Chains A and B, each alone.
Chain A
């Protein structure tokens, strides 16, 4: 079963509720995406004002998480969803938790940006940071696209890109450590870069989680904590025998 019909319940209102839920999640995703982009921009361009906007914007992200959580609880209580509807609600509950964490990481960028904007110190390795940031932004965007389209194959592929992000982060952290060892005076500023790189790596992990949830939602298979090879094997396993097309 590769296609999920989320609409076409006998109850119109139920259809609307589920649709509303998805829309809200996508809105939250869009907002979080925006926060990440702005946070990175503020950080890389030492823009304290933008940093403050990002810092304040986190409140809205948190508020959305609470709202969507309430909506999920209500659907669980009133509709007793089963099968794909149940998986959708479970996915949403988990995904917003990860989105909120991404929002927190973006908030950190804003704080760092506000801190660094005043100082004259321009940390090194910003180019690598920018590169890592672009990768992470791309993964995040694709993740949200996969969620929007309920694309399990795409989500699987996107999840696979987390390895590259991890590798990039590891090589960057090695560079930063050797720089700190060479020049102890630079440790403070390098550390700032270090924390930001780490935050980016975390964002990548959260996006990876969301991709796993999307696969669970569409396929009904829980692929958390499995390796990529096993996932691809499992994907081939579940060819639905039911579609006449």
Chain B
């Protein structure tokens, strides 16, 4: 590491130690999901420290930060995917439309039908395109006959901007599509169960620039019907795609604000350092 970078590193640690709380909070008028005082532990290691965040209706919230800062962990808490990890312990409150999703009466299966997730590496099932999209509706019983199911599949594929490319080969294997198409298939699969929130964990990091651009365009369209929280490594992507941005650093939410402010004039020095490429 160069001397200058070392100095920045030291300075950043000092700033972190002096961290007094999230700056630039922007309260959303129309709140869909609210997260308060969230602490997450993996065995004895604490991964997230007192994070307070909310997700508004029909907005795209981007979460950025260097590797290991906890943003993916936080995202996975929002649909209780961290339940599958034994060593993970979550404290704090996650409210979806006012109800605590970690409450004892909460059905995790129902929650995940309301809060969908798209993963980093496209992971279509090894089934046909039709079966991929139809799987969710089938297990939740959303269609009472074949026609309704066909309709759901067609609508989802259209909303995911994939219909025109695959309408003639719905029986072809889902894994035979290109990377960008596979990711759109995964998105179609997610929206087939009509979720209210879509969580995206670095959805474009495995894709080429053109596929990335089409997915970003898709996110913009999806915003009209869903609330979206997206974790991304690419600051430019966060800048292009989101209305609000949250900057995480070593498990703490440093700054939360409107995207245009964060990228032209961030309040906190740590945010400034990350965005301008002085750290991370």
* A residues apposed to B, CB below 8 Å: 1, 5, 7-12, 14-15, 80-87, 220, 240-244
Contacts and interface: CB of A to CB of B under 8 A. Distances in A.
A28 to B, nearest CB: 25
B62 to A, nearest CB: 14
Contacts of B279: 10
Contacts of A87: 264-265
A5 B278 contact: yes
A8 B20 contact: no
A1 to B, nearest CB: 6
27 contacts: A1-B267, A5-B278, A7-B4, A8-B8, A8-B278, A9-B278, A10-B5, A10-B277, A12-B2, A80-B236, A82-B275, A83-B263, A83-B264, A83-B271, A83-B276, A84-B272, A85-B276, A86-B263, A87-B265, A220-B265, A241-B20, A241-B267, A242-B15, A242-B267, A242-B269, A243-B269, A244-B18
A9 B276 contact: yes
Given A8-B4, A8-B7, A84-B272, A14 B277 contact: yes
A12 B14 CA distance: 23
9 closest residue pairs by CB, A with B: A220-B265, A244-B18, A8-B4, A82-B275, A8-B8, A83-B275, A85-B276, A82-B263, A8-B278
Contacts of B4: 7-8, 15
B70 interface: no
Contacts of B5: 8, 10
B239 interface: yes
Q: How large is the interface on B (under 10, 10 to 19, 20 to 34, 35 or more residues)?
A: 20 to 34
Contact of B272 (A10, A11, A83, A244): A83
Nearest to B5: A10
B174 interface: no
Summarize A's interface: helix, strand, loop or mixed.
loop
Given A8-B4, A244-B15, A82 B265 contact: no
A244 B11 CA distance: 11
Interface of B: 2, 4-5, 7-8, 14-15, 18, 20, 23, 235-236, 239, 263-269, 271-272, 275-279
Contacts, number: 60
A235 to B, nearest CB: 15
Nearest to A85: B276
Nearest to B21: A241
B236 A242 contact: no
A9 B272 CA distance: 11
Given A8-B5, A244-B14, A244-B18, A1 B269 contact: yes
Contacts of B267: 1, 240-242
Contacts of A83: 263-266, 271-272, 275-276
Contacts of A81: 276
B276 A242 contact: no
A242 B268 contact: yes
A84 B276 contact: yes
A89 to B, nearest CB: 12
Nearest to B3: A8
A10 B23 contact: no
Contacts of B276: 9, 81-85
A1 B278 contact: no
Nearest to A14: B277
A76 B15 CA distance: 29
B278 to A, nearest CB: 5
A241 B25 CA distance: 14
Contacts of B2: 12
Nearest to B239: A82
B66 to A, nearest CB: 11
Contacts of A243: 269
A152 to B, nearest CB: 13
A240 B18 CA distance: 14
B277 A11 contact: yes
Contact of B235 (A9, A82, A85, A244): A82
A7 B151 CA distance: 57
Nearest to A12: B2
Contacts of B235: 82
Contacts of B272: 1, 83-84
Contacts of A82: 235, 239, 263-264, 275-276
Contacts of B20: 241
A22 to B, nearest CB: 15
Given A7-B4, A15-B4, A242-B269, 5 more contacts: A9-B277, A10-B279, A12-B2, A86-B263, A240-B267
